[in-house]
Amino acid sequence: MLSPREGETYVDCTAGLGGHASLVAPLVGASGRIVLNDVDDGNLGKAAEAVRRTGGEHCPEIVTIRGNFAELPRTLGERGIRADMALADLGFSSNQVDDPARGLSFRLDGPLDMRLDPGLKLSAADLVNGLPEAELARILRDYGEERHAGLVARKLVQARKETPILTTARLAEVVRSVLSGRSGPSPIDPATRSFQGLRIAVNDELGSLQALLAAILRGAGAPGSWLSAGARVAIISFHSLEDRLVKRALEETASRGVGEVLTRSPAMADEPEQRTNPRSRSAKLRAVRIGGALGT
C-alpha cells in the first residue's frame, strides 16, 4: 500500500527495530531518503543500524529524529522534508515489552514504569499511587475497556494504603485478586486490560495518535506541509480504541476530498503469519492516499 518508488522519501513515525524501514530502503534506493522517528533512543539507533545493513552500498540517506510522532509533522515541515510515504506502527516493540525494566508486561516482574519515552514525567507507579479513585477507574474503563473498572480502582486504592504499588507483579496480583472468578474462563490474563489502560494513559497514546491524524487530515500541498501530493500513509493499530480513531479520520479525508482510502476494511495478518508471529493477531492496517491540490 505504500508502493515505494526509487528516489522517494519514506517517513517511519515509529521506527522501532527498523523492520519496516529495512524493507522499504532497497526500494527507494540510494537516491531515496528514510526518515526514522521514535521516542525511544535505543530503538532509534537499532533502526538506523538495520536500515544501513540492508541498504548496503545503495543505502538511502537516513535521517533520525527522536521524539513523539505528534510533533513530527511540524518538525518535518520546519526542515522542509516531505513524505512520499509514512507509516505509524503503533504501540510498543517486542524488545520493549520483553524488557522487565520497562514495566510493560504483567508476565515479567519489574518496576511499574511503562514509559516508552524515558523523558516523560509520570510513570505508571505515579498514576496508580497518586490518582484519585474516580480518575483511576476512568482510565481503566476508557482506555483498558475493563468492565469492572470501579472495583479494580477501589481495590488499588485500598492496596496502596497498605504499601505503595511499585512493581508490575504487585499490580497484576491486586487486579487478579479482584477479577478472578468474575470474567468466566478466558485465555486472556485478567490483568491485561488494566495494564493496557495504564500504558495508554502514561504515554498519552490516544492524544498522540489524534495529533498525527489531524496532521494527515490537513492533507498535502499547504505551505510547510509534511506530505507530498499523492503521499501514501499507513497506520497499524493494535486495539479497537486506536482503530476506531484511525478509521474515522481516514473516512474524513475522503469526505473532505483530501484523500482516498486504500483499505475498505483493515488488512490483517493471515493464518500462517499469525501462527509464526502471534503478536500480529490483533494488528489492523489502514491506509490512505493523500491528494494534491485538493488538500490545500
Ligand X SMILES: C[S@@+](CC[C@H](N)C(=O)[O-])C[C@H]1O[C@@H](n2cnc3c(N)ncnc32)[C@H](O)[C@@H]1O
Figure out which of the listed residues 20, 102, 199, 247 binds ligand X, where binding follows CB under 6 A: 20
Strands 259-261 and 227-237: unpaired
Name the residue nearer to ligand X (CB basis): 34 or 179: 34
Residue 129 within binding range of ligand X, rule CB under 6 A: no
How many other CB atoms are found less than 10 A from the CB of residue 285?
Answer: 19
Sequence letter at residue 9: T
CB contact set of 53 (below 8 Å; sequence gap of 6+): 22
Give the nearest distance from C-beta 206 to ligand X in angstroms: 10
Contact criterion met (CB below 8 Å) for 153 and 137 = yes
Taking residues 149 to 168 in sequence order and writing x for each that binds ligand X by CB under 6 A, - otherwise, the string is: --------------------
How many other CB atoms are found less than 10 A from the CB of residue 256?
Answer: 14
Length of the chain: 296
Could you say which residues in the range 52-91 bind ligand X, by CB under 6 A? Answer: 68-69, 89, 91
Query: Could you tell me the CA-to-CA distances from 238 to 49, 58, 77, 176, 284 in Å, in that order?
Result: 26, 33, 28, 23, 6
Figure out which of the listed residues 39, 62, 124, 139 binds ligand X, where binding follows CB under 6 A: 39
Could you say which residues in the range 89-128 bind ligand X, by CB under 6 A? Answer: 89, 91-93, 116
Residue 242 within binding range of ligand X, rule CB under 6 A: no
Name the residue nearer to ligand X (CB basis): 21 or 258: 21
Figure out which of the listed residues 4, 18, 103, 291 binds ligand X, where binding follows CB under 6 A: 18
Residue 40 within binding range of ligand X, rule CB under 6 A: yes
Q: Which stretch binds ligand X (CB under 6 A): 16-24, 147-155, 214-222, 288-296?
A: 16-24
CB contact set of 289 (below 8 Å; sequence gap of 6+): 230, 231, 232, 233, 259, 260, 262
Figure out which of the listed residues 19, 77, 100, 110 binds ligand X, where binding follows CB under 6 A: 19
Give the nearest distance from C-beta 10 to ligand X in angstroms: 12
H-only helix segments in the chain: 19-28, 41-55, 72-79, 94-97, 124-130, 133-142, 149-162, 168-179, 192-202, 205-217, 240-255, 271-276
Residue 38 within binding range of ligand X, rule CB under 6 A: yes
Alpha-carbon torsion 98, 204, 38, 249, what sign?
Answer: positive
Residue 226 within binding range of ligand X, rule CB under 6 A: no
Q: Which of 119, 135, 249, 79 is nearest to 127 (CA)?
A: 135
Give the nearest distance from C-beta 203 to ligand X in angstroms: 6
Taking residues 177 to 216 in sequence order and writing x for each that binds ligand X by CB under 6 A, - otherwise, the string is: -------------------------------x--------
Residues that bind ligand X (CB under 6 A): 14, 16-20, 37-40, 43, 68-69, 89, 91-93, 116, 208
